[in-house]
């Protein structure tokens, strides 16, 4: 039997939450769907909660990670910026390195 350690990490700025696994999942869904409405349906989350999470991410980021466009003749949407995509990738790298490190601690288990 192979043991694995799993852990949840998050990144804070000061005492405020910046990124967490939940926020990253929402951002990844936005990357795929480019629609906040579709993403909230996927997670069973309220639209207001998702907007608040995105606003919190954007307000704590060095640059905007998500841009929203209001509907119209071409329709609206919610898209990740290149910076937002990079931050998702960086978070995943950190998370995977953390799990690999923790799993190495099980050598003598």
| Nearest alpha carbon to residue 31 among 76, 74, 85 | 85
Phi, psi (5° rounding) for residue 88?
-60, -45
Question: pLDDT over 70 for what percent of the chain?
Answer: 94
The predicted model scores a pTM of 0.85
pLDDT tens column, 39-72:
999 888 999 999 999 999 999 999 999 998 876 5
Domains in the chain and their CATH numbers? 10-104 (1.10.10.10)
Q: Quote the tokens at residue 65.
A: 């990670």
Q: Is 75's pLDDT higher than 90?
A: no
């Amino acid at each position: 039997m192979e043991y694995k350690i799993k852990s949840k990490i998050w990144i804070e700025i000061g005492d405020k939450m910046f990124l967490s696994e939940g926020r990253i999942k929402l951002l990844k869904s936005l990357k795929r769907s480019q629609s906040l409405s579709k993403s909230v349906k996927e997670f069973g989350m309220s639209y207001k909660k998702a907007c608040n999470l995105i606003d919190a991410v954007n307000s704590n980021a060095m640059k905007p990670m998500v841009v929203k466009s209001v509907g119209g003749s071409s329709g609206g949407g919610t898209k990740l910026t290149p910076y937002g995509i990079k931050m998702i990738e960086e978070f995943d790298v950190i998370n995977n390195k953390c799990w690999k490190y923790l799993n190495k601690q099980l050598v003598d288990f």
